[in-house]
Chains A and B, each alone.
Chain A
Amino acid sequence: MKVMGYVRPDGKVGFRNHLLVIPSSVCASEVAMRIASHVEGAIALPNQHGCCQVGADMDLTINTLIGLGKNPNVAAVLVVGLGCEGVPTSKVAEEISKTGKKAEYIIIQHCGGTLRAEEEGARIVRSLAQEVAKLEKEEVDISQITLAIECGGSDTTSGLASNPVAGYVSDKLIDHGGTSMFSETTELIGAEHTLVKRAATKEIGEKILEIVKNCELKAEKMGVDMRGGQPTPGNIEGGISTIEEKSLGCIYKGGTKPIEGVLNYGEAPAGKGLYIMDTPGQDIESITGMTAGGANVVIFTTGRGTPTGSPIVPVIKITGNPETFKHMQDNIDINVGTVVEGKETIQQTGERVFNEMIEVVNGKLTKAEALKHREFGMYKLTSTF
């Protein structure tokens, strides 16, 4: 099966042609947004990170920013640094440019303040925008799709309908040679034993148990019952009683294929097939991690409804709750609540969602894209110093 994508210089395929303005730190975020506002199609990633972080926490921010720039849906990048932050601005641009795409950088302190940085930055981004617009899509194999599957605002219909449907799509994509990943380690707690059985090797099974144990230890160290944070108050109102119930429903989104590896936050899969990424259950941070890992389309299942999109990746939202679809049609792309109503099977709805995914990678805007939903947030390991 063929789809239309942008083949990047490193051979990776994107389905969007974004021009990113990446601030290296919180201190450069405002200037990055102002630069992006001057240029057609430019998108900034304002964030709270990049300064006064240490050790693995700092590395996570640096690697995530690089991964986002490398994402094949991104055509070119300007990195904007203040000049005194921990993130090495020039190194971020240099690492991104190893993919062969244009990645420039400016330093606000070197430019001489907001207005001069804005002018210099806008001039660079304007030039990149002109070049990026010339790129054309070409026919590529469907195996170039790297699907990220996210669930958020879950209720009990998520485990009964939308997650099994997403799992069907993931299985079908993998049958066509593609790659799929799911994440949210918190939402594996209580279901990890069933995933271990699907691990491609014993080591991968052990890694699954390890990430879940580490996640659970965080709640234990805080001395709290996770319930209320996970499941969330909305999950509970939607009928989910415990984290185990949430997890057992969540993992249906990973389909039935063997698990080929466990990725760190923002890490790219080494091969094709199904992967788990170690991320928190918070939707935005989770999607950012999988985007930094190279996902080029997202299927997002929801029960309660959510407007979430992404600055880089088209997010297709599906719900298994027919009432939620009626209430939030501006945000939800596909109603798979027909499964709980007994009107359609998981396979029938799965085919509909698969076809929508093909249309979206070929260029159809998702509702989140059409409404300019570009939620962005990065995971953080510890407090800022």
Chain B
Amino acid sequence: MGKQAIVVHESDNVATSLRDLKKGEEVLLEIGDTENKVVLLNDIPFAHKFALKNIDLGENVIKYGEVIGKASKPIKMGEHVHVHNIESTRGRGDLEVDKR
């Protein structure tokens, strides 16, 4: 059985599951040289993301060591991170409409 989840870059604040994970499950993660433990607040489907720490509203979400979007709601450590709580900062014609 391989790892439960992967953290791609040590500056990331999200991890990606490598199999279907259950709410309440303890996930062990290698981040650089350290091993961290996160308790999941939701079921996390294979290849989906969860938070490694609390992320404030509007804070950058980091994966691959790069910004993949902003939190559109406060996110708790262990929570599922996806379209319901992060939004893109790019390709946002809808925001251009709001400005008009």
Contacts and interface: CB of A to CB of B under 8 A. Distances in A.
Interface of A: 155-157, 159-160, 186, 189-191, 194, 216, 219-227, 230, 236, 238-239, 241-245, 248-249, 303, 321, 323, 340-343
A298 to B, nearest CB: 24
Contact of A242 (B68, B94, B95, B97): B68
Contacts of A227: 83, 87-88, 91
B23 interface: no
Range of interface residues on B (Cβ < 8 Å): 20 to 34
Contacts of B46: 239, 323
Contacts of B61: 241
B82 interface: yes
Nearest to A246: B68
A248 B3 CA distance: 22
Given A223-B94, A225-B93, A239-B48, A248 B64 contact: yes
A248 B83 contact: no
B69 A244 contact: yes
B93 A190 contact: no
B88 A156 contact: no
B18 interface: yes
B8 interface: yes
A341 B18 contact: yes
Given A223-B93, A224-B94, A342-B2, A244 B66 contact: yes
27 contacts: A156-B47, A160-B6, A189-B91, A219-B91, A219-B93, A220-B91, A220-B93, A224-B93, A224-B94, A225-B91, A226-B88, A227-B87, A238-B47, A239-B46, A239-B49, A239-B82, A241-B49, A241-B69, A241-B83, A242-B83, A242-B90, A243-B91, A244-B89, A244-B90, A245-B63, A303-B47, A340-B6
Given A156-B47, A159-B64, A191-B66, A241 B86 contact: yes
A220 B88 CA distance: 13
Nearest to A321: B47
A358 to B, nearest CB: 29
B45 A245 contact: no
A116 B69 CA distance: 59
B33 interface: no
B94 A225 contact: yes
Nearest to B8: A160
Identify which of B3, B8, B16, B81 gathers the most chain A CB atoms within 10 Å of its CB: B16
B88 to A, nearest CB: 4
Nearest to B63: A245
Nearest to B92: A225
Contacts of B49: 156, 239, 241
Given A157-B47, A241-B68, A245-B63, A190 B90 contact: yes
